[in-house]
Amino acid sequence: MNDRAQLQELRDDLYDRLAQLDIAGESVAAAHLDAAVTLLNRSIELLPTATEME
């Protein structure tokens, strides 16, 4: 599995956890996790694709 796919899998897991925190009413923790997901999304966008590396 490549770095991009691993990061995308992590992002999806974080979105699941974010939904759980929202449901549980943990708004502060959810806000922090949302910020982390936003940063992770930006990191994924900045990674070069396989075609760009060739």
Q: Do residues 21 and 29 make contact, with C-beta atoms less than 8 angstroms apart?
A: yes
* pLDDT on residue 48: 80
Query: What is the torsion angle, in degrees rounded to the nearest 10, for the CA atoms of residue 12, residue 15, residue 10 and residue 28?
Result: 180
Q: What pLDDT score was predicted for residue 3? A: 83
pTM: predicted TM-score of the whole model, two decimal places:
0.68
Q: Which residue has the higher pLDDT, 38 or 48?
A: 38
